[in-house]
A and B are shown apart, each in its own frame.
Chain A
Amino acid sequence: MADLVQLKRIATQVRRDILRQTHYAASGHPGGSLGCADFFTALYFEILRKNDAHFSMEGKGEDLFFLSNGHISPVWYSVLARSGYFPLGELATFRKLNSRLQGHPATHEGLPGIRVASGSLGQGLSVAIGAALAKRLDGDDHLVYCLTGDGELQEGQIWEAALFAAHKKVDNLILTVDWNGVQIDGRNDDVISLGDLPAKWTAFGWDVLHMHGNDMQDVLRGLAAAKARTGKGKPVVVLMKTEMGYPIDFMMGTHKWHGVAPNAEQLENALSQLEETLGDYPYVEKYQPEGA
Chain B
Amino acid sequence: MLDQLVVNGKKATRDGFGDGLLEVGRQYPQAVALCADLVGSLKMDAFIKEFPDRFFQAGISEANMMSMAAGLAIGGKIPYTGTFANFSTGRVYDQIRQCIAYSEKNVKVCASHAGVTLGEDGATHQILEDIGMMKMLPGFTVINPCDYAQTKAATIAIAEHQGPVYLRFGRPSWPVFTENMPFEIGKALLLQKGTDVSIFATGHLVWKAVEAARELAAHGISVELVNIHTIKPLDEEAILDSVQKTRCVVTAEEHQIAGGLGESIAQLLARRMPLPMEFVGVHDQFGESGTPEALLEKYGMGASHIVEAVHRVLARK
> For B99, what are the chain A residues with a Cβ–Cβ distance below 8 Å?
116-117, 123, 126-127
A95 to B69 alpha-carbon distance, docked (Å)? 29
Which residue of the partner chain, among A57, A60, A117, A160, contacts B63 with CB atoms under 8 Å? Answer: A160
Q: How far, in Å, is B75 (CB) from chain A's closest CB?
A: 2
Interface size class of B (residues with CB under 8 A): 20 to 34
Q: How far, in Å, is A48 (CB) from chain B's closest CB?
A: 16
Contact digits for B50-67, partner A, Cβ 8 Å, 1 yes 0 no:
000110101101011111
* A interface residues, tally (CB under 8 Å): 38
Q: Determine if A129 is an interface residue (Cβ-Cβ < 8 Å).
A: yes
Which segment of A133-141, A218-226, A229-237, A265-273 sits at the interface? Answer: A133-141
Which residue of the partner chain, among A123, A137, A160, A164, contacts B98 with CB atoms under 8 Å? Answer: A123
Q: Determine if A14 is an interface residue (Cβ-Cβ < 8 Å).
A: no
Which residue of the partner chain, among A116, A131, A167, contacts B103 with CB atoms under 8 Å? Answer: A116
Beta-carbon contact of B58 and A164 below 8 Å: yes
Q: Determine if B89 is an interface residue (Cβ-Cβ < 8 Å).
A: no
Q: How far, in Å, is B172 (CB) from chain A's closest CB?
A: 31
* B59, B68, B69, B94 pick with most chain A CB within 10 angstroms: B68
Q: Please name the residue on chain B nearest to A129 by beta carbon.
A: B68
A117-167 interface (Cβ within 8 A of B):
117-120, 122-124, 126-135, 137-138, 156-157, 160-161, 163-164, 167
> For B61, what are the chain A residues with a Cβ–Cβ distance below 8 Å?
157, 160-161, 163-164
> For B104, what are the chain A residues with a Cβ–Cβ distance below 8 Å?
107-108
Q: Determine if B77 is an interface residue (Cβ-Cβ < 8 Å).
A: yes
Beta-carbon contact of A156 and B74 below 8 Å: no
Q: Please name the residue on chain B nearest to A116 by beta carbon.
A: B103
Q: Which 6 A-B pairs have the closest CB atoms?
A: A130-B71, A134-B75, A126-B67, A130-B68, A160-B61, A160-B64
Taking A58-B76, A157-B63, A161-B64 as known contacts, 15 extra A-B pairs with beta carbons closer than 8 A to each other, sorted by chain A number, are A57-B74, A108-B103, A119-B98, A120-B94, A120-B97, A128-B71, A129-B71, A130-B79, A134-B74, A134-B76, A137-B32, A137-B75, A157-B67, A161-B67, A168-B56
